[in-house]
Amino acid sequence: SAVISQKPSRDICQRGTSLTIQCQVDSQVTMMFWYRQQPGQSLTLIATANQGSEATYESGFVIDKFPISRPNLTFSTLTVSNMSPEDSSIYLCSATGLAGVDTGELFFGEGSRLTVL
Amino acid sequence: AQSVAQPEDQVNVAEGNPLTVKCTYSVSGNPYLFWYVQYPNRGLQFLLKYITGDNLVKGSYGFEAEFNKSQTSFHLKKPSALVSDSALYFCAVRAEYNFNKFYFGSGTKLNVKP
C-alpha cells in the first residue's frame, strides 16, 4: 500500500491567517483527494486535486477558501485561507491508483489536525 | 443518489464475542465496497474490499465482510473481538458509473470491553 505523508500533523492557528498542508505520496498516483473530518464524524470531500489543472470542488467549497495545487503525480497541497474557528478540523489527503493501477481502494494520510483560535 | 448507511452510532461487545458492524448502500450499477478503520488521532486504514467474486471477503486483523446484493448490505464481522479492535469503523462505496467518487457512511464506534 502507499505511504502518504502529510505535513503538518497538527497546528494551532490564529483567526484570519492561512495554512498550507502538504501531501506527499511515495509513488505516482492517479487521483488525489482532500477530505475534512470533524473528530469522530464522517468524512466530507472538499475537492479532487487534478494534476496540472484546477481542482474540482464539491458543493460548499470554493477555490478562494481552499486553494489546491497538484503540480505532479505524487504531491498536492491544500491551503485553508483566512481561517476562522469553524475551520478547526482534521484535513485528510487521500489517493487512489498507485503506480497508475487502480485497485479500487482509497489510501489515506495520517491527517492534519488544525485548531483555529 | 449514491449513499451509505451505518445504522448504529456505537456497537458494544465483550472481548472474545463475535462482532458485527452493519452497512447498507444505495448505488447505481455494481458497487465497489470498502471498510476502513480509524484509531484515535490517525488516518483511515483500509481493512477490506468487495469488487467482484466471492461474496465473503477477508481482510486485515481477522475481519471479514459479506456482500449481500439483494439486501444491499456489506456488514463487517469478526468471530472473536479483541479490546484492540476498539476504534471507529467506516463503510464506503464507489459507484461503477461515478468512479471518481467515494461515499462514506457516518461511522460506527466499536467498543470492545475486557
User: pLDDT of B19-38, one tens digit each?
Assistant: 999 999 998 888 999 999 99
What does the alpha-carbon distance between residue A11 and residue A7 come to, in Å, rounded to a whole number? 10
What does the alpha-carbon distance between residue A87 and residue B14 come to, in Å, rounded to a whole number? 37
Helix (H) or strand (E) holding A18: none
pLDDT band per the 50, 70, 90 thresholds, residue A101: confident
Judge: B107–A105 Cβ closer than 8 Å, yes or no: no
Residues 6+ apart with CB under 8 A from A32: A23, A25, A48, A49, A51, A70, A76, A93, A94, A95
Residue type, A42: S
Residues 6+ apart with CB under 8 A from B78: B18, B19, B61, B62, B63, B64, B85
Q: What is the CA radius of gyration of chain B?
A: 13
- The residue that leads in pLDDT, B79 or B27, is B79
Query: Of B21, B31, B23, B44, which Cα lies nearest the Cα of A41?
Result: B44
Q: What is the pLDDT of residue B9?
A: 96
Chain A contact set for B42 (CB, 8 A): 110-111
What does the alpha-carbon distance between residue A75 and residue A4 come to, in Å, rounded to a whole number? 10
Closest residue of A to B48, CA-based?
A105
Chain A contact set for B106 (CB, 8 A): 41-42
CA A53 to chain CA mean position, Å = 16
Whole-number average pLDDT of chain B: 94
Provide mean pLDDT across the span B45-71.
95
Q: How far is CA A10 from CA A77, A103, B99, in A?
A: 15, 30, 31
- Three-state helix/strand/coil letters over B42-91: CCEEEEEEECCCCCEEECHHHCEEEEECCCCEEEEEECCCCHHHCEEEEE
Tally C-beta pairs within 8 A across A and B.
47
User: pLDDT of A46-98, one tens digit each?
Assistant: 999 999 889 999 999 999 999 999 999 999 999 999 999 999 999 999 999 88
pLDDT band per the 50, 70, 90 thresholds, residue B95: confident
Q: What is the pLDDT of residue A1?
A: 63
Q: Strand pairing of B64-68 and B87-95?
A: unpaired
Q: What is the pLDDT of residue B60?
A: 92
pLDDT band per the 50, 70, 90 thresholds, residue B62: very high
- The residue that leads in pLDDT, B101 or A115, is A115
Task: Tell me: pLDDT of A2 over 80.
Answer: no
Residue type, B91: C
- The residue that leads in pLDDT, B40 or A17, is A17
Q: Which of A40, A104, A111 is opposite residue B43, by nearest beta carbon?
A: A111
Q: How far is CA B52 from CA A8, A99, B32, B46, in A?
A: 38, 22, 8, 17
Provide mean pLDDT across the span B44-69.
95
Q: What is the pLDDT of residue B23?
A: 98
| Nine-digit cell string for B95 | 459507484
What does the alpha-carbon distance between residue B49 and residue B94 come to, in Å, rounded to a whole number? 11
Q: Does B105 touch chain A (CB under 8 A)?
A: yes
Judge: A104–B106 Cβ closer than 8 Å, yes or no: no
Question: Are A104 and A85 within 8 A, CB to CB?
Answer: no
Best probe of the A interface among B3, B23, B41, by most A CBs < 10 A, is: B41
